[in-house]
Structure 1
Amino acid sequence: MSQQQISLPAKLINGGIAGIVGVTCVFPIDLAKTRLQNQRQGQQVYKSMMDCLVKTVRSEGYFGMYRGAAVNLTLVTPEKAIKLAANDFFRHHLSNTGKGLTVFKEMLAGCAAGMCQVVITTPMEMLKIQLQDAGRLAAQQQKTVVMTSTKLVATNAVLSRSYNSGIVVSAPRAVSATQIAKELVQTQGVKGLYRGLGATLMRDVPFSIVYFPLFANLNNLGKPSPEESSPFYWAFLSGCIAGSTAAVAVNPCDVVKTRLQSLNKGCNEETYNGVVDCISKIMRKEGPSAFLKGAGCRALVIAPLFGIAQVMYFVGVGEYILDNSPLRMLSA
C-alpha cells in the first residue's frame, strides 16, 4: 500500500498507536536524556545513561523511570495527529503538478508541519520535563547534604552530630502534571505553558525538515517499483535512520529547550533569560560539548518511535480499525 493510498483518519490512528507504543517502550531513555541534559559541570549526579537508569530504579523504584509518562501518553496522539495531518495538507497543496514533490518542497511541508505541532508539543514537553527532572534535583540535594555533613565531621565531630540530628532529606513533593499546569496558568496565564516555545520551534522545525525528506528518499530506495511499497523491514529501517539522524542534528536545540523549560533549579544552577542568553551561558560555562548532552539517548528514543510508526502504516492497523468499526465512515 503506498503512502498516497492511506486515508488521513487511518494515518492519525496509526500515528497515535505508534506514539503510545513507542513512548511506553522508550520513555525511561527519554527520562535519562532530560536528566543528563540538565546536569551542570561539577554537579553531576549521573555518569551515563545506564548509570542514570540504575540510580533512578534504586532511589525511585521501577516506576520512577516513567515519571511524566502519563502526560506524554495523553498528548502524543493529538501531537502526532496534528503533525501528520499538517504534513499531508501541505504536501497536497505543494504537489500541484501531479509529478510528486521535489526535496525542497518536501522540506517546506516538513517545516510547516513542525510549526503546527508545537501547539501541543510545547506544553507537553514543559509538563513532562518538570516531572522527569524531580528525581535528579532530589538526588543532587541529597548529595549536597551528605558532602556538607562529611566536611563538618572532618572539622568538628560534636558540631557535626548536632548538625546531623536536625537534617531531614525529604523526598521530592509528589506533584502531578495537572497540578503543575494549574499552578502555571494561575500564576503566569496560558503563556506559562508555552515557556520555551521559541526553542521548541528551533528544534521541531529543523527536525521535520530533515526527517520527512530523508525518510521519503530512503524509503524510495527500497521500493521494487514506483507503484509498489517498500518491504516491511526497509520502511522500519528508513524510519529509524531518518529519525535518529534528525534527532542528533537538532540535539543542541533540544538541550536549550530542556534548560529553558526547567522551572526548578538545583543548587547553584543558573537561570536563563531566553534562547540567546541560554546559548551564551552554556557555551561560556560548559563549552560546546554541552550541546551534545543526551544526544545518544535522544537517538535511541526517536529511532524506534519513527520506526514503529512506519510499521503501523505497513501493517495497516488504522485501516483495519476503520474497516471493522462504526468509524469506517470517516475513511470515505
Structure 2
Amino acid sequence: MAEKQISLPAKLINGGAAGIIGVTCVFPIDLVKTRLQNQRSGQQIYKNMLDCLIKTLRAEGYFGMYRGAAVNLTLVTPEKAIKLAANDYFRHLLTKEGTVLSLSKEVMAGCGAGTCQVIITTPMEMLKIQLQDAGRLVSPQLVSKIPCAVSGCKIVAVSPVLTRAYNVGPLTFPERVSATKIAAQILHTQGIKGLYKGLGATLLRDVPFSVIYFPLFAHLNRAERDFTEERAPFFRSFLAGCVAGSVAAVSVSPCDVIKTRLQSMGRGRNDNYNGIIDCARKVWLQEGLSAFLKGAGCRALVVAPLFGIAQGVYFIGLGEYIIELCQYGRLST
C-alpha cells in the first residue's frame, strides 16, 4: 500500500511546531550533554549528568539552563521541517504505487534527509555549542580570580552576576556574549566557512542517525497496526519516535563527541584538531575509548522525547488542521 502524501506546507508546519515544542522541553539536558562531552580527563568539573544540572542551576540560574536556546528555537523550525519533509519526499519518490517501501529504499530516504538537514544544522550547532560551553569554561576562572583573605580558605559561594559573565576580568562586569556577536565575529575572521566548521562531522553524525532512525521508526510505527487506519494513533507515533530516536542517538554518540570537540575548538582552550580523523585519534589516545560515549545517556534523553514529540505532532496532523482553518477562513470572507 502506497503511503499517503502530505502537502509540503503541512509538513513544514508539523516539523517546525514539533521542533519548537521538543527543544523547549529538553534543552537543559542538551546543555548538560555538551558540557560533559567537552570535559577532558583530569579537568573534570562535573561528575555526571545530575551533578552538572545542579551546578549549572546554582551558578547560572534557571535561564542559564537555556543558554543557547534562542539559536535552536530560531533555527529548529527550518531544520526539523527540512529533515521530516525531505524524508517524506524521498520515501514518496521511491515508493511505487501499490507497494510497500523496502528497507533499502527506507535507508536511502533517511540518508537523503540527513544530508539535506546539515545546511541548517551545522551553523545552528556551531553557535549553540559555543554558547552552551561558555558557562563551563568560565566557572573555574571566576573562583580562581576571587581574592581570599585567609590562606587556604575555601570559596563557598560565588556572585551570580560574576558567575554568569563570559569574559572574566578582575572585579569587572564584562559584556555578555550573544549568538549574534559570535556569528559576526566568525564571519569577520573566517567567513561563511567558519559557521560550517565541523560540517563533515555533522554529516558523519546526521546521515547515519537518519539511516537508523527513519526505517526503525517506520517499522515500529507500523507494527501491529490495523491497515485500515490512515494514520497511527498519537501514543504509537510518540513511543516509536522515542525508541527509534534513543537507539539512533546512542549509536552515533562517538560522531557527536567529535563534532562537539571540533565546533568548540579554540574557545578558552589549547586543543587543536586537524579534522575528524585527527580529533578521533587524539581523543582515543588521550582519554580512551570511553570518551567517545561521553554524554550518550544525555543525548538519548534529549533525542527520545524530541523525536517522540516531533512524530506525535507530525502524525496528529497539526499542519493539515491549520491549513484547513486558513482555507475555511478565506472562504468565509
1:134–1:172 contact (8 Å) kept in structure 2: no
C-alpha displacement of 1:168: 2.4
Structure 2 unaligned spans of 5+:
154-168
Q: 1:87-98 counterparts in 2 under 5 A? A: 87-96=87-96, 98=98
State TM-score, norm by structure 2. Answer: 0.87
Please, which of 231, 244, 252 is the counterpart of residue 250 of structure 1?
252
Q: In the alignment, what sits opposite 2:161?
A: none
Equivalence for 2:132: 132
After superposition, the C-alpha distances for 1:169-207 in whole angstroms (9 at most, x for unaligned) are 767751111111111111111000000000000000000
Q: Report the counterpart of residue 314 of structure 1 in structure 2.
A: 315
Structure 1 partner of 2:283: 282
Name the stretch that deviates more: 49-58 or 126-135: 49-58
CA contact under 8 A between 1:240 and 1:303: conserved in structure 2?
Answer: yes
The one-letter code of the counterpart of 2:305 is P
What is the identity, as a one-letter code, of the residue corresponding to 1:7?
Answer: S
The residue type paired with residue 21 of structure 1 is: I
The verdict on how the C-alpha distance between 1:169 and 1:273 changes in structure 2, with shifts beyond 3 A counting, is farther
Map 1:41-56; keep pairs closer than 5 Å. Answer: 41-56=41-56
Q: Sort the Cα spacing of 1:274 and 1:306 in 2 relative to 1 into closer, same or farther, 3 A.
A: same
Q: Structure 1 residues 244, 51: closer, same or farther in 2, change over 3 A?
A: same
Q: Which residue of 2 aligns with 1:225?
A: 227
Q: In the alignment, does 2:296 pair up with 1:295? A: yes
> Measured at CA, do residues 107 and 174 of structure 1 come closer, stay the same or move farther in structure 2, by a change above 3 Å?
same
Post-superposition CA distance 1:6-45 (Å, at most 9, x none):
3222121111111000100100000000000000011111
Question: Matched residues in 2 for 1:40 and 1:149: separation?
Answer: 31
The yes-or-no answer on 1:211 pairing with 2:213 is yes
The residue aligned with 1:235 is: 237
TM-superposition CA deviations, 1:264-288 (whole Å, max 9, x none): 4445x52211101100000000000
CA RMSD of aligned residues (A): 2.5
Aligned residues between the structures: 314
Contact persistence 2:250–2:300 (CA under 8 A): yes
Q: Which runs of 5+ in 1 are unaligned?
A: 154-166
Structure 1 residues 150 and 287, CA gap change in structure 2 (3 angstroms): farther
Distance 1:202 1:234, change over 3 A: same
- Counterpart residue number, 1:158: none
TM-score if structure 1 supplies the norm length?
0.88
Q: In 2, distance between residues paired with 1:42 and 1:150?
A: 27
Amino-acid identity (%): 65
Determine whether 1:108 maps to 2:119.
no
Distance 1:327 1:287 in 2: 60
> Secondary structure of 2:40's partner?
coil
Query: 1:253 offset after TM fit, Å?
Result: 0.2
Q: Which residue of 1 aligns with 2:162?
A: none
SS at match of 1:238: helix
> Partner residue of 1:15?
15
Q: Please state how far the C-alpha of 1:326 moved relative to its aligned partner.
A: 4.9
Give SS of 1:168's match: coil
Q: Distance in 1 between matches of 2:26 and 2:295?
A: 14
1:185 corresponds to which residue?
A: 187
Distance in structure 1 (CA, Å) of the matches to 2:15 and 2:271: 38
Deviation at 1:145, TM superposition (A): 5.4
